Amino acid sequence: MKKRILVTGGTGFIGSHTSVELIESGYDVVIVDNLSNSNIEVLNGIEEITHVRPAFEQVDCTDMPALELVFQKYQPIDGIIHFAASKAVGESVKEPLKYYRNNTVSTINLLELMPKYGVKAFIFSSSCTVYGQPDSDNLPVRETSPRKDAESPYGNTKKIDEDIVTDFCNSGAPIQAILLRYFNPIGAHPTAIIGELPNGVPANLIPYLTQTAIGIRECLSVFGDDYDTPDGSCIRDYIYVVDLAKAHVAAVERILEGKSSEKVDIFNIGTGNGVSVLELIHTFERCTGVKLNYKIAGRRAGDIEKVWGNVDKANQVLGWKATHTLEDALSSAWKWQLKLREDGIM
């Protein structure tokens, strides 16, 4: 019988790509999403790519009675991948309670239901945001590097959730967990059938960049060129979303196939390469042939100067490695933007 994975936030950007990879790896996928920041039509996209329509329940994971009905309906569930969360850094500063409620209550509810319904594996979407700005001698940052005070309520919820999961697993609960600390996910599925669809004006670099390239936005602002980096712009570790999605399949397998003796394991999921904003813009121009209108603007409050990951542990222990280049990821993001235009979506 196929193993069944509950994917919360499965119609979102990373969740939808992960659902595709799970189905293609032979898992039965049940998506739970409240559709607060995604669209039901993503299910059609997942079906078009995989020829399988995942089960779907429009449920908010903070709603315990509704969530428990999902656990009852889909018994037995083998594992959970928990993406569902609010994720806008700026909004979290303005509406902190929304973030603390959504992001911690949903995690607690899932963990509480797991032993009752015999669910063994929990994969949690964490973020390199938990490292803050690592000291220079801690770059590339390792899983054992210190976690710093969060820059935003959003970042703090990731730290708190990591602690909730860890404390619960260590309390003797009959579950194993893997915390995946993502660096910056970018790109879209190579078919351009699913991708990132932010609401309103994008806050993140790639959707802003592709929307500028296609003429929806006039000009991309590069937030700062006076940082202590080779070209003065900030450095990040940009990871192709399909590679990131595959890391979740590897993590689920690690627990379900009994490859791990750890109650909680942590992996950085990135490429191991730091790329500056200006380098990324030039790579985009080179691989798409599109000239980008950009200007240097002031620094953005709260930005980390530079962070990229040491991914040796994911490579060696998880047996996962990013295989796509920055060019692949940027080309896919551009193809997705062109498809949105073709379909009249934006």
Q: Give 266's contacts (C-beta < 8 A, 6+ positions apart).
A: 126, 143, 162, 178, 179, 181
Spatial distance between the Cα atoms of 119 and 82, rounded to a whole number of angstroms = 13
- For this structure, is 74 an active site residue? no
- Scanning 54-62, 74-82, 103-111, 214-222 for contacts with ligand UFG by CB under 6 A, the matching segment is 214-222
The residue from 6, 128, 139, 322 that contacts ligand UFG (CB under 6 A) is 128
How many other CB atoms sit within 10 Å of the CB of residue 55?
A: 16
Residue nearest to ligand UFG (CB): 234
Give the residue with the Cβ less far from ligand UFG, 52 or 304: 304
- Scanning 3-11, 110-118, 122-130, 256-264 for contacts with ligand UFG by CB under 6 A, the matching segment is 122-130
Q: Does 216 bind ligand UFG (CB under 6 A)?
A: no
- Scanning 30-38, 64-72, 124-132, 160-168 for contacts with ligand UFG by CB under 6 A, the matching segment is 124-132
- Give least dist CB 342 to ligand UFG, A: 24
Q: Is 80 exposed, middle or buried (0-12, 13-18, 19+ CB in 10 A)?
A: buried
- Give least dist CB 161 to ligand UFG, A: 13
Contact by Cβ (8 Å): 252, 22: yes
Contacts of ligand UFG in 67-96 (CB under 6 A): 87, 89
Dihedral pair phi/psi, residue 236, rounded to 5°: -135, 170
Spatial distance between the Cα atoms of 94 and 102, rounded to a whole number of angstroms = 15
Contacts of ligand UFG in 310-329 (CB under 6 A): none
- Scanning 67-75, 172-180, 204-212, 246-254 for contacts with ligand UFG by CB under 6 A, the matching segment is 204-212
Look up residue 178 and give its amino acid: I
Q: Does 148 bind ligand UFG (CB under 6 A)?
A: no
- Give least dist CB 138 to ligand UFG, A: 15
Look up residue 259 and give its amino acid: K
Distance of CA 294 to the CA centre of its chain: 26
Spatial distance between the Cα atoms of 165 and 199, rounded to a whole number of angstroms = 30
Q: Which helix (H) or strand (E) holds 305?
A: none
Q: Does 225 bind ligand UFG (CB under 6 A)?
A: no
The residue from 303, 324, 328, 338 that contacts ligand UFG (CB under 6 A) is 303
Task: Report the largest interatomic distance among the alpha carbons of the chain, rounded to a whole angstrom.
Answer: 57
- Give least dist CB 16 to ligand UFG, A: 17
Q: Which listed residue (131, 154, 227, 294) is catalytic?
A: 154
Give the residue with the Cβ less far from ligand UFG, 236 or 248: 236
Q: How far is CA 153 from CA 97, 117, 201, 283, in A?
A: 9, 32, 21, 33
Instruction: State the helix-helix crossing angle for 241-256 and 13-24, rounded to 10 degrees.
Output: 60
Contacts of ligand UFG in 149-178 (CB under 6 A): 155
Residues that bind ligand UFG (CB under 6 A): 87, 89, 127-129, 155, 184, 203-205, 208, 220-223, 234, 236, 277, 300, 303
Active site residues per annotation: 154
